[in-house]
DNA sequence: TATAATGGTGCAAACGTGTGCATAAGGCGG
DNA sequence: CCGCCTTATGCACACGTTTGCACCATTATA
């Protein structure tokens, strides 16, 4: 019932030549006379021939395929990276295997091995922290590896490369802006499941405060527990943790990412704390969501799609034998309305006294 | 410098057996004595052998790979589908090629051919409308095809299957709810680049109104132009179009999706029309965003991730030779705060007279 | 005219794996 | 002791493609 798949042999038979001639003709080799080349190409077209990439890969030892590992796709940050990477891959005639690790190191290890089995030509990782076993597994694949938003380690293998945004600098940018608005009591809302970048952003936060001669007490720094690794519960986790910051008496909070900031926003709404009048908020990433909430989020912009593109381009360059340099992009601050001067006026929600905040906080967490 | 890739031949040599024995031993064949089988497995493990999926595919004529085509990943609706599909694929030992079509039929055709070349075992399409050429190209791949959210055509090839949510029913649900709140002048805000589903939701809208004896004039139905196919501009496009609905004097709007509803929300905010007091809003999809805007969106929930899972499961079942039936899931209504009774009180934004609305509308669009 | 150079094509091997079939070794009944 | 059955293994081919090399025919050169 199925019309049989046709191969170059079938075409060779139909054209009365050998299959090698067909192969060369379709590859546009100049070894073949123009006449037969065109004849064969026309024939192939007409017979509906579609080359078998599997067989080609086996022979040429290149699959024109790259593996992409992300922690989540539902997280718009990674979604944009995937889009950017896919886009430049397709343009270069490559295909991409998508893999999501759910922030599970074991799963990630298994995914890397699968990619190895499939003989991908390159790997892009936009995922969790890598342990020694991961590094070894990756090195064994003997293929270019590009990490997104992970600073390279000094004893990484030579074929490890990276493209990252300056987390530390971005955080400084945001916190210095809050300082410039007059805030002195500034909190940090972190994400426990984003080890490296969370650490970097926390550092940037500390550096900015230190620059203003401020030493934040522990209570100003709250971190969402790491257990919720799906990346989908970011908002809810932040909403739960946020009241502790209000209770600590901060007038502004710099949040690990926009999801966390939205969580803070929801918490404020529930507690009837006005934003930015009662508490200023700054996020990170500049996902679409940041523009749509009320008030729109002041946040640190990352060129996420561009990072995906560049990561893939690095893989392509490495495959082409070019030398590439690790890149770290500078984020920019997008000023919207979620951060204002401390205690600014005309606030539809009543400003709460410290006691009231504490009271409501206890109400929420019980 | 590179340690050479090791194949079953290397293992065979090291073990003093033939490569066929190794192949069988690693496959766990009972033809091989338990002793040598274990010896070979241990040896393979120790030598760091990783099977070559390419060679396996060539031989077994199965790549254990499925192609997934979506219009966008930045759109959270599709992102969730991808996650669901990837999840069940991995669990079944399959890998997925991700492809984004950007709603471009030509690009989509090219993607299908690429998947054909790569000899995927199945294809899932969550993408734009398919023309005849697409159908033919898909049929030529001779592989199970599952469409997400596209009703099957009666003259589709036999290997075409689908899983969809009842767009029409979902739209009815939402509009009937608006009617039940007391609205009579209800508009529809459509998306021109989502042909089929837009049509179905429009039908549902009409059916619900007809059930209440209402015949909507043309001005109540506005559609965002199709040109913006990226899926990323949905909100902005809706924001631009929305004022025309207010100008038409509707008291409630059912929107094609949540992005459109958010666009409407932004437009209302700009025009200082209170939601839901000045205009009620209902969306579709129930993406995360819907919960985070103010007011939270009343919307039609689709089990997006579940749809991705089921689509992939259908492919797996088809590959296993099982019979599968097309599925259409029933959406549910999630009631939040963006829809209320017409002209309800306690609105922080002033209610506008029809004249004022028109005036502001002209102001915005000039 | 003989020889070399040139251009076009075919032969066969290779990539790494799976598998039908033959075969060898061992046990057992006749 | 011979033949047969069972068990374990090897041989060889196949999957569809690319490519080095040999070969043939034609033309240019001496």
Q: Write out pLDDT tens, residues A63-72.
A: 999 999 999 9
Chain C bases having any atom below 7 Å from a protein CB? 7-12, 14-20
Contact criterion met (CB below 8 Å) for A161 and A144: yes
pLDDT of residue A30: 87
pLDDT of A354 above 90: no
pLDDT of A351 above 60: no
Which of B95, B136, B270, B309 best tests the A interface by mutation, with the highest count of A CBs <10 A?
A: B95
Sheet arrangement for strand A298-301? A221-224, A186-191, A252-255, A280-285, A298-301, A332-334
pLDDT of residue B352: 45
The verdict on a CB contact (< 8 Å) between A289 and B289 is: yes
Q: Which residue of chain B comes nearest to A136, CA vs CA?
A: B48
pLDDT of A108 above 90: yes
Contact criterion met (CB below 8 Å) for A122 and A144: yes
Considering only the beta carbons, identify the residue of B57, B96, B292 that sits closest to A289. B292
Comparing A172-181, A339-348, B97-106, B273-282, which segment has the lowest mean pLDDT? A339-348
pLDDT of residue B218: 96
pLDDT of residue A230: 55
| Lookup: nucleotide whose C1' is closest to B36 CA | D8
| Lookup: nucleotide whose C1' is closest to B24 CA | C18
Neighbours of A16 (CB within 10 A): 8
pLDDT of residue A358: 43
Q: In the predicted model, what is the mean pLDDT of residues A279-299?
A: 96
Chain A positions in Cβ-Cβ contact with residue B292 (cut-off 8 Å): 235, 262, 265-266, 289, 292-293
Considering only the beta carbons, identify the residue of B2, B83, B292 that sits closest to A293. B292
| Residue B75: partners with Cβ closer than 8 Å, 6 or more residues away | B231, B232, B234, B259
| pLDDT grade for A359, boundaries at 50, 70 and 90 | very low
Residue at minimal CA–C1' distance from D9?
Answer: B21
Q: Which residue of chain A comes nearest to B61, CA vs CA?
A: A54
The verdict on a CB contact (< 8 Å) between A74 and B79 is: yes
* Cα B180 from Cα A350, distance rounded (Å): 35
Q: Which of A155-169, A293-307, B120-134 has the highest mean pLDDT?
A: A293-307
The verdict on a CB contact (< 8 Å) between A269 and B57 is: no
Q: What is the pLDDT of residues B297-325, one digit of tens each?
A: 999 999 999 999 999 999 999 999 999 99
CB-to-strand D contacts below 7 angstroms: A 5, 7-9, 19-20, 23-24, 26-27, 51-52, 55-56, 58-60; B 16-21, 24, 30-37, 58-59, 61
Contact criterion met (CB below 8 Å) for A281 and A252: yes
Chain D bases having any atom below 7 Å from a protein CB? 7-12, 14-20
The verdict on a CB contact (< 8 Å) between A58 and B53 is: no
DSSP run (H or E) holding A284:
strand A280-285
Considering only the beta carbons, identify the residue of A87, A97, A289 that sits closest to B95. A97
Between A and B, how many residue pairs show a Cβ–Cβ distance under 8 A?
136
User: How many angstroms separate the CA of residue B103 from the nearest CA in chain A?
Assistant: 13
pTM for the full model?
0.91
* Cα B44 from Cα B8, distance rounded (Å): 8
Instruction: State chain A's mean pLDDT as an integer.
Output: 90
Is the link from the previous residue into A295 a cis peptide, with omega within 30 of 0? Answer: yes
Chain A positions in Cβ-Cβ contact with residue B350 (cut-off 8 Å): none
pLDDT of residue B231: 58
For residue A328, how many C-alpha atoms fall within 13 Å in the half-sphere facing its CB? 9
Residue whose structure tokens are 């898909």: B138
User: How many angstroms separate the CA of residue A20 from the nearest CA in chain B?
Assistant: 19
Q: Which residue of chain A comes nearest to B93, CA vs CA?
A: A114
Q: Which of A157-166, A354-363, B154-163, B292-301 has the highest mean pLDDT?
A: B292-301
Residue whose structure tokens are 């395929």: A65
pLDDT of residue B178: 98
pLDDT of residue A154: 74
User: How many angstroms separate the CA of residue A217 from the nearest CA in chain B?
Assistant: 30
Residue whose structure tokens are 């990346």: A231
| pLDDT grade for A228, boundaries at 50, 70 and 90 | low
User: How many angstroms separate the CA of residue A75 from the nearest CA in chain B?
Assistant: 8
* Cα A119 from Cα A106, distance rounded (Å): 20
Chain A positions in Cβ-Cβ contact with residue B288 (cut-off 8 Å): 74, 232, 235, 289
Contact criterion met (CB below 8 Å) for A305 and A84: yes
pLDDT of residue B153: 76
Q: How far is the CA of B150 from the C1' of C28 (A)?
A: 67
| Lookup: nucleotide whose C1' is closest to B5 CA | C16
Chain B positions in Cβ-Cβ contact with residue A55 (cut-off 8 Å): 58
User: How many angstroms separate the CA of residue B343 from the nearest CA in chain A?
Assistant: 21
Which of A83, A144, A295 best tests the B interface by mutation, with the highest count of B CBs <10 A?
A: A83
Chain A positions in Cβ-Cβ contact with residue B83 (cut-off 8 Å): 72-74, 100
> B254: closest CA among B178, B200, B191?
B178
The verdict on a CB contact (< 8 Å) between B292 and A235 is: yes
Q: In the predicted model, what is the mean pLDDT of residues A6-31?
A: 94
pLDDT of residue B350: 45
Instruction: For strands A252-255 and A280-285, give the pairing.
Output: parallel
pLDDT of A348 above 50: no
* pLDDT mean by block of 10 residues, chain B; 366 residues: 86 94 93 92 96 98 97 94 98 97 93 98 87 91 93 78 95 98 96 90 98 96 77 86 95 96 95 93 96 96 96 97 94 96 55 44 39
Considering only the beta carbons, identify the residue of A58, A289, A348 that sits closest to B54. A58
């Amino acid at each position: 019932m199925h019309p049989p798949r046709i191969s170059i042999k079938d075409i060779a038979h139909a054209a009365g030549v050998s299959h090698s001639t067909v192969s060369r003709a379709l590859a546009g080799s100049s070894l073949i006379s123009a006449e037969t080349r065109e004849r064969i190409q026309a024939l192939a077209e007409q017979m509906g021939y579609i080359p078998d990439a599997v067989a080609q890969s086996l022979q040429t030892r290149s699959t024109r395929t790259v593996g992409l590992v992300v922690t989540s796709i539902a997280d718009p940050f990674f979604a944009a990276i995937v889009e950017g990477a896919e886009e430049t891959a397709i343009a270069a005639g490559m295909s991409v295997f998508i893999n999501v690790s759910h922030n599970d190191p074991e799963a990630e290890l298994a995914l890397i091995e699968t990619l190895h089995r499939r003989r991908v030509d390159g790997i892009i990782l936009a995922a969790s922290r890598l342990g020694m076993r991961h590094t070894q597994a990756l090195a064994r694949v003997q293929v270019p590896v590009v990490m997104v938003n992970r600073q390279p380690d000094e004893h990484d293998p030579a074929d490890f490369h990276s493209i990252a945004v300056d987390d530390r600098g971005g955080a400084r940018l945001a916190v210095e802006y809050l300082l410039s608005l007059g805030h002195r009591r500034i909190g940090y809302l972190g994400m426990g499941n984003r080890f490296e970048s969370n650490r970097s952003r926390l550092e940037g936060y500390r550096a900015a405060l230190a620059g203003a001669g401020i030493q934040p007490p522990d209570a100003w720094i709250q971190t969402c527990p790491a257990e919720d690794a799906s990346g989908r519960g970011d908002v809810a986790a932040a909403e739960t943790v946020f009241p502790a910051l209000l209770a600590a008496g901060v007038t502004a909070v710099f949040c690990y990412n926009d999801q966390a900031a939205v969580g803070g926003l929801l918490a404020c709404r529930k507690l009837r704390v006005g934003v930015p009048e009662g508490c200023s908020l700054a996020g990170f990433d500049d996902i679409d969501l940041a523009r749509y909430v009320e008030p729109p989020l002041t946040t640190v912009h990352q060129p996420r799609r561009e990072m995906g593109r560049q990561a893939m381009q690095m893989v392509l360059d490495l495959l082409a034998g070019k030398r590439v340099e690790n890149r770290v992009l500078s984020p920019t601050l997008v000023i919207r309305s979620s951060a204002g001067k401390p205690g600014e006026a005309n606030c539809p929600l009543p400003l709460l006294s410290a006691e009231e905040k504490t009271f409501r906080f206890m109400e929420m967490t019980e």
